[in-house]
Chains A and B, each alone.
Chain A
Amino acid sequence: GAGVSQTPSNKVTEKGKYVELRCDPISGHTALYWYRQSLGQGPEFLIYFQGTGAADDSGLPNDRFFAVRPEGSVSTLKIQRTERGDSAVYLCASSPRFEVGGYTFGSGTRLTVV
C-alpha cells in the first residue's frame, strides 16, 4: 500500500473487554514495530517483528498484551481484559528491513477504555 495503515482509527471499549488493533505495513516491509503513546508522552516501544517472528517483545507491559504477524505482513495487537490505563494511541511502524530508527509510522489507533 501507499503507507502504513492502521484500523480502526478510534476504538472505545468497556473495561474488561478484549480488543484487537490491526496494522497493515507498507508492502514488502519486513520489519514492523508497535508503540504506545499516552497523553503528553512520547511513543513507548512495545514489540518488534522481523518477518513472522517477534524479535523483541520486551516492551509489552504484561501478559494481557499479545501481538501476532502470522504471514509476515499484517500484524494484530491484542489486548485482553482491558483496563482504563490501557487508553492511549497505539502506533505501528514498518521499514524495508532491519533499519535503526528510520521507519514509517501509521496514523495510529486511539483506544479509549471506559
Chain B
Amino acid sequence: AQRVTQPEKLLSVFKGAPVELKCNYSYSGSPELFWYVQYSRQRLQLLLRHISRESIKGFTADLNKGETSFHLKKPFAQEEDSAMYYCALSGGSSNTGKLIFGQGTTLQVKP
C-alpha cells in the first residue's frame, strides 16, 4: 500500500539550529515526492518537489530510494520557519496527480 509516514508530530528547535523533518514512504513504483507547508492562518502551499532538486527558503530534500526517505533539511532554522509541514507522495495507478499526505509535523522555532 502507498503510505507516507512522518514520525514526529512536533519538532522544536532554537533559532539557528539545524532542522531535519523526517519523511518515509512506501510505494512500489517510481515515486514523486513533495513537501507542503502551512503557516499560521494561511493556506497549504507547495514548498518543494524532489524532481526540481531546488532549494526553497533554505530548505532542501533529497530522495533516498534505498531508505525510502525524503527528509526535509535546513542548516539554520529561522523563527519564520515555524509552521506545519506535510510530506506527500504522488499516487494512483492512472497517474491522476492525486497526493497521499503524511500526518504532518509541526516545526516550532524558538528565539
Q: Is B88 an interface residue, CB under 8 A from the partner?
A: yes
Q: Which residues of chain A (1-56) have a CB below 8 Å from chain B?
A: 3, 31, 33, 40-45, 48, 55-56
Q: Which of B14-22, B39-47, B55-63, B70-78 contacts A (4 or more CB under 8 A)?
A: B39-47
Q: Are A48 and B97 in contact (CB under 8 A)?
A: yes
**Interface residues of A, Cβ cutoff 8 Å to B:** 3, 31, 33, 40-45, 48, 55-56, 58-59, 91, 95, 98-108
Q: Are A55 and B96 in contact (CB under 8 A)?
A: yes
Q: How far is the CA of A102 from the CA of B45 in the complex (A)?
A: 9
Q: Are B43 and A33 in contact (CB under 8 A)?
A: no
Partner of A56, one of B96, B100, B103: B96
Across chains A and B, the number of contacting residue pairs, with CB separation under 8 Å, is: 63
Q: Are A100 and B95 in contact (CB under 8 A)?
A: yes
Most buried by A among B43, B46, B49, B88: B43
Q: Are B101 and A42 in contact (CB under 8 A)?
A: yes
Partner of B43, one of A45, A99, A100, A107: A107
Q: Are B97 and A99 in contact (CB under 8 A)?
A: yes
7 A-B contacts (beta carbon < 8 Å): A43-B44, A45-B98, A48-B98, A101-B97, A103-B46, A104-B45, A107-B43
Q: Is B92 an interface residue, CB under 8 A from the partner?
A: yes
